[in-house]
Amino acid sequence: MAEQSLRVNLGQRSYDIAVTADALRDVGVFAHARSQGKNAVIITDENARVHGQAVHTSLAAAGFRVAIVIRVAGESQKSLESAGQLYDVLIDLPADRRTLVVAVGGGVIGDLAGFVAATYARGLPLLMVPTTLLAMVDSSVGGKVGVNHPRAKNMIGAFHQPIGVFIDVATLDTLPEREFHSGLAEVVKYGVILDAGFFEYLEKNVDAILKREPTAIQHIVLRSCALKAKIVEQDEREETDIRAKLNYGHTFAHAFEIAGGYGAWLHGEAVSAGMVCASRLAERRGLIEREVSERQIRLLKAFSLPTSPLRWPHDEMLATMRKDKKAVGGQMRFVLPTRLGDVALFDNVPEADVRAVLQH
Ligand SMILES: NC(=O)c1ccc[n+]([C@@H]2O[C@H](COP(=O)([O-])OP(=O)(O)OC[C@H]3O[C@@H](n4cnc5c(N)ncnc54)[C@H](O)[C@@H]3O)[C@@H](O)[C@H]2O)c1
Ligand SMILES: [Zn+2]
């Protein structure tokens, strides 16, 4: 399949998302058409470095003077300390206001490089080249960038839209199976919250998706980006309840991630079990039929994802959920499905119901 693209419409901050298969060599032309600068700084990590180097070659061929920074992999990179080290690199170059920051990697690199781009010299242009499924369908679209505070994940950040997102699904060939499956949880989420037809497509194409057939992967990445873009266009800075829809399954997921000490599960795995809990909660509230949950469970299982929490203490998980940023005045708020393809935000969910769905 040839390159496909879609536009995120945000007035002056609008940008294109190109979804290609095996076309990283074209990223230089894509960048050149959107940048006034001559210098580019690629930020990548050791696991994505082959892709970083391919981007380097392509940007140089398009006329950029290119520097590349290869960080160690992992969430610990999302810190003010590593942002500080990247500011040092930019000062040394030196970077100017037109220097293009190019993030080549997963959500960690995107969030970190994006944060540096948002803050250095009050904002440098940013190009996202996501290389994990999660980054392709979620973190590289929408402009949220940031680093962690030692006591609060993603607490220090900004909204900084990229000038473009260039996706090559062939970069997923090197992604470990577990990371790939984890990203699929967010893909399933888009079907449940916004698009029943897309959910059906996933059900019918499990084999092609698991084999990472480029046509299927290109389709699910493009559709996921389109669905997220539509939400971001309506609520760029998360000021209404619209963008909160994207948090389906996430109130539970955060509680699972904290209960497991962030080591037990990958984010998508926690989201998978979180979506099932939220769906069960919707059943208990009489919002949906049992079959809506069962279909999610079947699909998530087909993608080798967990569908219930491990045996973590319920009190601890409830305490986390009460502190969730979506909780208002100690009342838990949940995004719950009202049918396949639609969700709404509910306040005042009784604690007894929440406890009940944590049960296996
Ligand atoms: N900004 C947002 O809107 C947003 C949304 C969702 C998640 N996030 C953030 O994204 C981060 C998670 O992103 P992630 O799941 O991509 O994690 P990640 O960036 O840590 O990538 C996962 C692993 O895959 C490796 N990797 C990346 N590309 C690879 C490739 N092509 N081949 C082989 N290995 C590769 C990485 O080095 C890492 O070890 C979290 O920090 C989360 O907070 C941000
Ligand atoms: Zn998520």
pLDDT average, residue stretch 40-67: 98
pLDDT band at residue 262 using 50, 70 and 90 as cut-offs: confident
* Pure H helices in the chain: 27-32, 49-61, 80-92, 107-119, 133-134, 177-194, 196-204, 206-210, 214-234, 250-259, 267-284, 290-302, 314-323, 351-358
- Active site residue: 32, 181, 219, 267, which one? 267
pLDDT average, residue stretch 256-264: 89
Of the candidates 85, 89, 80, 183, the one whose C-alpha atom is nearest the C-alpha of residue 131 is 183
pLDDT at 270: 97
Q: Establish whether residue 114 lines the binding site of ligand 1, counting it when its CB lies within 6 angstroms of any ligand atom.
A: no
- 98: pLDDT strictly greater than 80: yes
**Whole-model pTM over 0.85:** yes
Of the candidates 337, 335, 336, 331, the one whose C-alpha atom is nearest the C-alpha of residue 350 is 331
- Active site residue: 81, 122, 151, 239, which one? 122
pLDDT at 327: 64
- 188: pLDDT strictly greater than 80: yes
| Phi-psi category of residue 39: left, alpha or beta, with phi > 0 → left and psi -120 to 50 → alpha | beta
Residue 243 Cα to ligand 2 middle (Å)? 12
Q: Establish whether residue 105 lines the binding site of ligand 1, counting it when its CB lies within 6 angstroms of any ligand atom.
A: yes
The reply to whether 223 belongs to the active site is no
Question: Which positions ≥6 away from 140 have C-beta within 8 Å?
Answer: 103, 107, 110, 128, 130, 162, 165, 167
The reply to whether 219 belongs to the active site is no
pLDDT band at residue 304 using 50, 70 and 90 as cut-offs: very high
pLDDT average, residue stretch 289-303: 98
Instruction: Write out pLDDT tens, residues 109-124.
Output: 999 999 999 999 999 9
- Active site residue: 144, 219, 223, 245, which one? 144
Q: Which domains does the chain have, with CATH numbers?
A: 4-174 (3.40.50.1970), 189-205+227-358 (1.20.1090.10)
User: CA 297, CA 323: separation in Å to the nearest integer?
Assistant: 27
Of the candidates 80, 76, 55, 75, the one whose C-alpha atom is nearest the C-alpha of residue 66 is 55
Q: Establish whether residue 236 lines the binding site of ligand 1, counting it when its CB lies within 6 angstroms of any ligand atom.
A: no
Half-sphere exposure of 243 (CA within 13 A, CB side): 16
pLDDT at 360: 64
Instruction: Give the lowest-confidence range in 152-161, 172-181, 277-286, 325-334.
Output: 325-334
